Amino acid sequence: MVVAGGEDEAPIDWDILTFSLTPTDTMYLSQIRAGEAWKSGDLKPYGDIPISPAAGVLNYGQGIFEGMKAQRTPDGEIVMFRPDMNAARFESGARRLGMPPVPKDIFVDAVKAVVAANARWVPPGGRGALYLRPCLWGSGGILGVAPAPQFTFCIFACPVGPYFKGGMTPISLKVSDEFHRAAPGGQGGIKAIGNYAPGMIPSMDAKKDGFSEVIYLDAVEHRYVEEVGAANFFCVKNGTVHTPKLTGTILPGVTRASVCQLAKDMGMDVKEERLDISFALTADEAFCTGTAAVLAPIGKIQHGARVVEFCKGEVGATTRKLYAALTGIQQRQLPDKHGWVMSVQQARAKL
């Protein structure tokens, strides 16, 4: 199937973009029955999808998703950042939830096709990105607790601005002592849809108190840092970069892995470890990472009655350095020695 990407400018003011839903022209859809192999799907106009009220995703939460971005370089080229890592995480999540994994080549080709078909919605360089949401869910109806008899692979896209208002302005976080994101042996290490609804109330409560998000601690000892809402946590002390190690309860973020590598490239010592909140509060600076957040500096953390400010509320030197390196590579303004950036043809999307 061939769909033109469109050359006309999208009807949107790029300068007021927020991280919110703006429907675009085209989405991708593929469906298979249990036992069938995935094949290339179709590009369709963005719109609602009929689904059985007995669908596995609605009744038992059998679903995963990914978050990715496409953006323009200063010379107008459209690129994506490490889609192979998203494909691998998508495969892992599908296996954990009893769904047929989408092969890497089909996943990457489908994402590139959606970007090309929605090329006019990719903001100019430095003014936002096209956010991509690949989803896989059990769409077939089933009554017993078991994998669905049918599965749907869908990708939609929308132009977005910064996840946290203010861009590189330091954010304030509140440690949650009441709620936990995930428990050992569960599904915290995959991007399962069921991981996110429980975090809505803690996040909303934190924002009512003037914070941007919450920091979750581990569910066993209630002392080790896990994640910042839907982002990975980092802190820097005496020149060493610290981040929670992947124990199965923390999402293996694509941006997280990239920042760890960039810090090592710069000669920094990087420690992936069980990160005690008491240690984190003594750090010189802190930040969080994610596809949506990119790299957000942390200016203040409140844990109980204790409030700690980092870098006098300013962006730390290491945070700024890593942000500049990451975004420079993503926008092809710096050398991409690891081969992380993939070009997307803007002409026609072909499946």
CATH of the domain at 68: 3.30.470.10
Determine the pLDDT at residue 126. 87
**pLDDT tens readout for residues 113-165:** 999 999 999 999 889 999 999 999 999 999 999 999 999 999 999 999 988 77
Determine the pLDDT at residue 166. 66
Residue type at position 280: A
Based on the fold, state whether residues 31 and 120 are members of the same structural domain. Answer: yes
Determine the pLDDT at residue 9. 77
Based on the fold, state whether residues 200 and 283 are members of the same structural domain. Answer: yes
For the whole model, what pTM was predicted?
0.93
Spatial separation of the C-alpha atoms in residues 193 and 211, rounded to whole Å: 24
CATH number for the domain that contains residue 193 = 3.20.10.10
Based on the fold, state whether residues 175 and 159 are members of the same structural domain. Answer: no
Based on the fold, state whether residues 131 and 41 are members of the same structural domain. Answer: yes
Structural domain of residue 127, as residue ranges? 2-165+341-350
In a domain, 58, yes or no: yes
Tell me which of 69, 112, 174, 191 is the catalytic residue. 191
In a domain, 326, yes or no: no
In a domain, 19, yes or no: yes
- 246 contacts: CB under 8 Å, gap ≥ 6: 189, 252, 272
Q: Into how many domains does the chain fold?
A: 2
Spatial separation of the C-alpha atoms in residues 330 and 70, rounded to whole Å: 9
**pLDDT tens readout for residues 25-74:** 999 999 999 999 999 999 999 999 999 999 999 999 999 999 999 999 99
Based on the fold, state whether residues 82 and 29 are members of the same structural domain. Answer: yes
Determine the pLDDT at residue 4. 34
Q: How many CA atoms lie within 13 A of 289 on its CB side?
A: 23
Based on the fold, state whether residues 247 and 148 are members of the same structural domain. Answer: no
In a domain, 109, yes or no: yes
In a domain, 332, yes or no: no
Q: Known catalytic residue: 191?
A: yes
Spatial separation of the C-alpha atoms in residues 62 and 140, rounded to whole Å: 11
In a domain, 330, yes or no: no
In a domain, 156, yes or no: yes
Based on the fold, state whether residues 21 and 146 are members of the same structural domain. Answer: yes
Query: Which two three-digit tokens encode residue 332?
Result: 């092809």
Based on the fold, state whether residues 199 and 307 are members of the same structural domain. Answer: yes
Tens digit of pLDDT at every position of the chain (351 positions): 333 334 577 888 998 999 999 999 999 999 999 999 999 999 999 999 999 999 999 999 999 999 999 999 999 999 999 999 999 999 999 999 999 999 999 999 999 999 999 999 999 988 999 999 999 999 999 999 999 999 999 999 999 998 877 678 999 999 999 999 999 999 999 999 999 999 999 999 999 999 999 999 999 999 999 999 989 999 999 999 999 999 999 999 999 999 999 999 999 999 999 999 999 999 999 999 999 889 999 999 999 999 999 999 899 999 999 999 999 999 999 999 999 999 996 434 444
Based on the fold, state whether residues 199 and 155 are members of the same structural domain. Answer: no
Based on the fold, state whether residues 206 and 85 are members of the same structural domain. Answer: no
In a domain, 321, yes or no: no
Based on the fold, state whether residues 51 and 133 are members of the same structural domain. Answer: yes
Based on the fold, state whether residues 106 and 250 are members of the same structural domain. Answer: no
Query: Which two three-digit tokens encode residue 233?
Result: 């946590």
